[in-house]
Amino acid sequence: MADSATTHPATKDPAKGPALLSAHSLARHGAWIALALLILFNLAFTPNFATWQTLNVNLTQVCAIVIVAVGMTLVIATGGIDLSVGSLMAIAGSLAPLIFMGKILPLPYALGIALAFVVPVLVAGAFGWFNGWLITRLRIQPIIATLVLFIAGRGIAQVMTNGNLQPFKTPEFQFIGLGRVFGIPFQAVLMIVIVLAAAWMLRRTVFGRQILAVGGNERAARLAGIPVVSVKRKVYLISGLLSGIAGLIVIARNSAADANLVGLGMELDAIAAVAVGGTLLTGGRATVIGTLLGALIIQLVRYTLLANGVPDAAALVAKAAIIVLAVWLQRPSQG
Amino acid sequence: MNNLNTLQLFRGIGRYGVLIALLLLILFGWLRYENFLGSFNVLTVLRYNSMFALVALGMCFVIITGGIDLSVGSTAALGSVVAAMLSPYGLVPGLLGGLLAGLVVGAINAFVITRLNILPFIATLATMLAASGCALLLAGNQSVSVSYDTAFIELGQGDVLGFPAPAWIALIAYLAGSVVLNFTSFGRTVLSIGGNEDATRLMGLPANRVKASVYMASGALAGLAGVILAAQFGAGQPIEGVGWELFAIASVVVGGTLLTGGVGSVGTTLVGVLLLGLIFNILNFENGLGWISLSAYWQSVIRGALLLVVVAVQAKLASRTEDAHP
């Protein structure tokens, strides 16, 4: 895979003989192959598959997941996990309407809209930074540290809005979820920009290499002089910021913010996309493009099943099978 | 010697700190609210929290081995649906059906984790989705009414010797769990896997078999929690159980069990469950007083804050023990 980046390939799979090579390369390109097969299957069997509408439906379903999953990829690359993403989406999603509807401060319309884009994302970022602080300063395991905000974060969003649905009709704000650029949904453009930026960063920048080094071997990274603490705080900050953006997209798309539902279960969707995409869950090897493919595969399988009359519940079982199969195929070979 | 003392101190605070917190909370409630320790309130709290207690017990064992089980919530949902569907045939078929459904999910977890060598986090994430899908398919996307003609509902709503039936089930399960963990070779192997899995294997202990049993037990207990859920609320609920896994993890952690595995206690897990459960109860009483009106949404904020305090204290103590012997 083009952007697959590993710190120490030699230490990751030390006893990889030529016999394993074909299986290994199959695993590396598995995501592309699976996606291609899915598209071919749909072209052959699903009516009206090759239409703009199908593309748009699938893209809008997947954008928020991919944006969150990019942050999750970076977190997992350092050997961590972020369970709080869904709750942070709820916080950002609940805060934005409060701002542009003037419920906190009566603001001029345009300023309210502008702040509604900026402040919720920054707040979500601040909570993300707090996750990183807990993990690095108090040395709490990522799964527990982010569990705190997973539980409390949605509560904060619910308390802010008293649990009420906030419906709105604000085209300028909703551009982030409903707008189009040359016929392409704006959220898809945003998603692609974020994916490309993150993929470039992970592969081409010092920070990206540091992320992988921390995930590959934290002790070694520290001894090599890599600022482990600051790298970790930054990835959780990024994960928080991206969750905030995803929260805004979701409420803009729904024309309503519901603190009980925005981002519910998102942490699992994002982790599933990362796992299917071929990022190593123990850290040290990560691929942002793979995460995009993983999310597309999961979405396309669901769409294929639904379009061919399989109930949604059965699609859940299929999703479970895909996750296990993908992780099993891509597991690092046992030494 | 110094190392031993600090380690004992750390464990002691982990063990008794949470118990002291629970007692303080009960004292607070007793002094502040009328009828807080009245039998109606006490029995209602016990009846309701017994489901979570069962799930947390399984989670406790899993976490002691250094693993995690995210599938318990949807396994409970699946168990409740199966139990509700079998409830017209009587108490025993309903009970066994729910248990068996949970056991099957647990067995799949065990297979994927020990045979396919997939991380527990991902394996149980997948079975969480699968169990939820199966529950929805079986139930046809709606809740399944429980038959009131048989004794099945007694499992959730009945009393034995004046004590709620589900609370008896949870109590017996905890006593059994405590004996297994502390006084059997199986229990010692569970602890040793969490301490160092490779060393356990090299010592010739059946690490894989014990790990598999732990996940199967966790599944069965979640299925049992589902049976109680169905019996208590009169319906099998395929969409219930969302977030139970994280509540269970929080209870286990609040109870002082380390997520890194190797250290843990069954008794304090129960205390953790009751502590988190009482917060909701106290919030209700507080609103009943009429001084303030806190929405139910505050309970998750308070639970999160409590979890934060506990892990922060644990982290401080842990770093102090580390400093004692670097």
Q: What is the mean pLDDT of chain B?
A: 86
Closest A-chain CA to B121 = A281
* For residues B297-317, average pLDDT: 80
Flag whether pLDDT at B293 surpasses 90. no
A98, A103, A104, A105 alpha-carbon torsion, rounded to 10°: 120
Q: A141: part of which helix (H) or strand (E)? A: none
Cα–Cα distances in angstroms (integers) from residue B284 to residues B48, B229, B243, B281, B296, in the given order: 14, 21, 21, 5, 8
Contact by Cβ (8 Å): A294, A69: yes
Tell which wins on pLDDT, A182 or B82.
B82
Closest B-chain CA to A267 = B125
For B293-311, give the secondary structure using H, E and C: CCCCCHHHHHHHHHHHHHH
Structure tokens at A264: 């519910």
In percent, the amount of chain B with pLDDT more than 90 equals 44
Structure tokens at A214: 């921390």
Tell which wins on pLDDT, B1 or B225.
B225
pLDDT of residue B215: 97
Cα–Cα distances in angstroms (integers) from residue B141 to residues A215, B35, B305, in the given order: 41, 40, 35
Q: How far apart are CA B265 and CA B181, in angstroms?
A: 8
Q: Which of B285, B277, B260 is nearest to B65 (CA)?
A: B260
Q: Which of A166, A164, A163 is nearest to A100 (CA)?
A: A166
Tell which wins on pLDDT, A47 or A293.
A293
Structural domains of chain A, count? 1
CB of A333 within 8 Å of any CB in chain B?
A: no
Q: Across the interface, do A313 and B246 touch by the CB < 8 Å criterion?
A: no
- Closest Cα in chain A, distance from residue B302 (Å): 7
Contact by Cβ (8 Å): A152, B303: yes
Flag whether pLDDT at A12 surpasses 80. no
- Closest Cα in chain A, distance from residue B295 (Å): 7
Flag whether pLDDT at B72 surpasses 60. yes
Per residue in A287-331, pLDDT (tens digit) is 999 999 999 998 888 888 888 888 888 888 988 888 888 888 877
Mutate to test the interface with B, among A317, A328, A331 (most CBs of B within 10 A): A317
Q: Alpha helix (H) ranges present in chain A?
A: 9-12, 21-45, 52-77, 85-100, 109-137, 142-161, 171-178, 186-204, 206-216, 218-223, 228-254, 266-277, 288-307, 312-330
Per residue in A277-290, pLDDT (tens digit) is 888 888 888 999 99
Structural domain contains residue A227: yes
Instruction: Identify all chain B residues contacting A313, using CB atoms and an 8 Å cutoff.
Output: 132-137, 141
CATH class, B37-320 region: mainly alpha
- Split at pLDDT 50, 70, 90, the class of B290 is low
Q: How far apart are CA A270 and CA A86, in angstroms?
A: 10
3-state helix, strand, coil in chain B (%, to 5): 75, 0, 20
Domain boundaries, chain B: 37-320
Per residue in A220-235, pLDDT (tens digit) is 999 999 999 999 999 9
Structural domain contains residue A283: no
Buried b (16+ CB within 10 A) or exposed e, B256-270: bbbbebbbbbbbbbb
Of B8-17, B114-123, B245-254, which range is least confident?
A: B8-17
Structural domain contains residue A58: no
CB of A328 within 8 Å of any CB in chain B?
A: yes
CB of A164 within 8 Å of any CB in chain B?
A: no
Q: Identify the residue whose tokens are 């897990």.
A: B269
Q: How deeply is B206 buried, as exposed, middle or buried, from its count of CB atoms within 10 A (0-12, 13-18, 19+)?
A: middle
pLDDT of residue A28: 66
Alpha carbon B243 to chain centroid, angstroms = 12
- Closest Cα in chain B, distance from residue A188 (Å): 27
Tell which wins on pLDDT, B245 or B80.
B80
Q: Identify the residue whose tokens are 């895909």.
A: A322
Structural domain contains residue A174: yes
pLDDT of residue A141: 85
> Which of A138, A272, A320 has its CB closest to that of B127?
A320
Instruction: Identify all chain B residues contacting A148, using CB atoms and an 8 Å cutoff.
Output: 304, 307-308, 311
* For residues A198-208, average pLDDT: 94
Per residue in B202-223, pLDDT (tens digit) is 888 888 999 999 999 999 999 9
Q: Across the interface, do A324 and B123 touch by the CB < 8 Å criterion?
A: yes
> Which of A144, A155, A271 has its CB closest to that of B125?
A271
Contact by Cβ (8 Å): B87, B234: no
Structural domain contains residue A184: yes
- Closest Cα in chain B, distance from residue A18 (Å): 22
Instruction: Identify all chain B residues contacting A135, using CB atoms and an 8 Å cutoff.
Output: none
pLDDT of residue B225: 96
Tell which wins on pLDDT, B299 or B209.
B209
Contact by Cβ (8 Å): B223, B75: yes
* For residues A214-218, average pLDDT: 90
- Closest Cα in chain A, distance from residue B179 (Å): 28
Per residue in B247-281, pLDDT (tens digit) is 898 889 888 787 777 788 898 899 999 988 888 88
Q: How far apart are CA B165 and CA A157, in angstroms?
A: 37
Q: How far apart are CA A87 and CA A263, in angstroms?
A: 6
In this predicted complex, what is the ipTM?
Answer: 0.80
- Split at pLDDT 50, 70, 90, the class of B32 is confident
Give the three-class secondary structure for A182. Answer: coil
Contact by Cβ (8 Å): A300, A99: no
Per residue in A60-119, pLDDT (tens digit) is 889 999 999 999 999 999 999 999 999 999 999 999 999 988 777 787 888 888 899 999
CB of A311 within 8 Å of any CB in chain B?
A: yes
pTM, full prediction: 0.84
Structural domain contains residue A177: yes
Flag whether pLDDT at A18 surpasses 50. no
> Which of A150, A268, A314 has its CB closest to that of B137?
A314
Q: Identify the residue whose tokens are 């928020």.
A: A64
Cα–Cα distances in angstroms (integers) from residue A234 to residues A117, A202, A216, in the given order: 21, 13, 17
Q: Across the interface, do A320 and B137 touch by the CB < 8 Å criterion?
A: no
Contact by Cβ (8 Å): B71, B109: yes
pLDDT of residue B241: 82
Structure tokens at B122: 């991902």
Tell which wins on pLDDT, A204 or B326.
A204
Q: What is the mean pLDDT of chain A?
A: 86
Residue type, A189: V
pLDDT of residue A22: 58
Through-space distance between the first and last CA atoms of chain A, rounded to whole angstroms: 23
Q: How far apart are CA A226 and CA B310, in angstroms?
A: 31
Give the domain extent around A191.
63-264
Flag whether pLDDT at A46 surpasses 60. yes
Structure tokens at B136: 């929805």
Tell which wins on pLDDT, A272 or B243.
A272
Flag whether pLDDT at B311 surpasses 90. no
Flag whether pLDDT at A334 surpasses 50. no
> Which of B121, B125, B136 has its CB closest to that of A313?
B136
